[in-house]
Structure 1
Amino acid sequence: MTADPGRGLVLVVEDDRAIAELVTLYLRRDGFGVHVEVDGLGAIAAARRLRPVAVVLDIGLPGVDGVEVCRRMRAADDWTPVLFVTARDDEVDRVLGLELGADDYITKPFSPRELVARVRTVLRRASGPVGGEVLRAGGTRLDLGQRRVWSGDAEVALTTTEFDLLAHLMRRPGQVFERAQLLSAVWGYAAAAGTRTVDVHIAQLRAKLGAGSPIRTVRGVGYAADRG
């Protein structure tokens, strides 16, 4: 199920036909091309073959589930933005997905308009700012124009959301942000999404950046980046 992608091709992975058709309808109205897969193995093959601009990925798939699809994509160094769809408000599902490199998630039942807005937001972030400003703090170097990050001499692969969270902190060194402020600034929505999302992404960034991470925790408040 495809269409000419005016704004790029979105891979929708959903085994519920009615939901897949509804999501497809709204994405196409917004100018996206759409390709639908109904299982995990098909999704992995389609992601490799079609190189979509984003993946809307249901967790509860038959056989290979959405979490495993995302894990295999990231293991293959595929950092296409992934938006998880979960059938219940289960923190375990959400946190595991985020730890594996998902950029966002939405819980069923959801508004198709909100889902499309989330896709647009993550793609807008992925396009990055124009210009070549380079930020430095601790042992981390971040190139805003190329959307690349180095810890020491080693380049570090980040998801779109991880990059934007790190950039937001590094562009305002020393400023302390509450979790709800980071949700609003980076994800584009308020604290109803759960501040645990921020904690998981911070933990992932620290793990990837290692000793060179400039991020510090301000107990009882939130997070800040050290000054360069």
Structure 2
Amino acid sequence: MQTMKIERKTMACALAAVMLLATAAGGAWYFQRLTERERELERGSVPCAQQAPSRFSPYCLAQSQAAAGRGDRAAMAALVEYFDQRQPAEAVRWTRAAAKLGEPRALSRVLSSCGTAGPFTVDEAQALLPAAPALEALNFRLGGSCAPADMEAARALVPAGLLAAPDSAGLCKVALRFGLLRLSRDGAQLDSQAAQQLLAECERRQQVPAAVRKEAETVRQMLAREVNPVRISVD
């Protein structure tokens, strides 16, 4: 009888142990599933590479911040887009960092947003010119941003090297800027034929907005007749 009682106690203890282990295992499984679900929600339903930077999930934002901290230019550019409407100062910080590493969009942003009205100084924009895309740098030197026109750079402009440029928007900016500079009081010594060549090429670029092509046509015709310029926006 005593032996049976011991066996029953042993079985009861064993059963309790099994139930305890099962409960623990179930709890661990549930916790793991919950953690996975939380991770899924944090990551978002779309992989980071397919998420628009402006709408990064918390997980993808953290991944981009980590990559940017390691010097990844693309990650820095993504952070600029993410913070642009949320924390402008943070967007400026990452723009500056990316531009120093030669990221094209960041360089363009610094060159076009410098001076008293922008977050970047003239000096830091000028320091980045050697790394900037050729047309962006030339537009800057022709007075297309926060610095006055560099007449020496304008006189040295050779259209043959620009006519085949794939950047149509950049080419039209330079063409309009150079054409208007030629029509200005200080541009009498600039090459009118060179300006007209660039403007004519801009007119041929169908991917450029019609309004810009019309401006190019107007300035080219003014140069051909050498009339006084009217007020035209080139940006």
TM-score relative to the length of structure 2 = 0.29
TM-score relative to the length of structure 1 = 0.29
More helix by share: 2
Q: Which has the higher contact order (CA 8 A, sep 6+)?
A: 1
